[in-house]
Amino acid sequence: MLFNILSSLSRLILKLGGWTLEGARPPVDKYIMLASPHTSLIDGFLMVLAGFGLGIRPSYLVKAAYTKGFFGQFTLWTGGIPVLSGAGANKVKEVIEIANNAEKIELLIAPAGTRAKRDGWRSGFYHIARGTNLPIYLSYLDFGKRCVGVDTRPINLADDVQKGMDTIRAFYADMQGKHPELMTPIYIKEEES
The model's pTM is: 0.89
Please state the φ and ψ torsions of residue 21, each to the nearest 5 degrees. -95, 125
Euclidean distance between CA atoms 158 and 179, whole angstroms:
31
pLDDT at 154 over 90: yes
- 136-142 β-sheet, strand order: 20-23, 147-150, 136-142, 30-36, 105-109, 59-63, 80-83
Return the pLDDT at 85: 67
pLDDT digits (tens, 9 = 90+) for 104-130: 999 999 998 766 778 899 999 999 999
Distance CA 147, CA 149 (A): 7
User: Rounded distance, CA 156 to CA 163, Å?
Assistant: 9
Are the C-beta atoms of residues 54 and 24 closer than 8 Å to each other? yes
Q: Is the pLDDT of residue 160 over 60?
A: yes
**Alpha carbon separation from 20 to 57, 94, 144, 156, 173 (Å, rounded):** 19, 35, 12, 27, 19
Query: pLDDT tens digits for 38-66?
Result: 888 888 889 889 999 999 988 988 888 88
Q: Which residues contact 67 (CB under 8 A, 6 or more apart)?
A: 73, 75, 76, 80, 82
**pLDDT above 60 for 139:** yes
> Which residues are paired to 36 by β-bridges?
140
pLDDT averaged over the chain?
A: 89
Residue pair 75/67 in contact by the 8 Å Cβ criterion: yes
Residue-wise pLDDT tens digits, 66-107: 888 888 888 888 888 887 665 445 888 989 999 999 999 999
Convert the pLDDT of each residue in 15-35 to its tens digit. Answer: 999 999 999 999 999 999 999
Identify the residue with better confidence: 38 or 172: 172
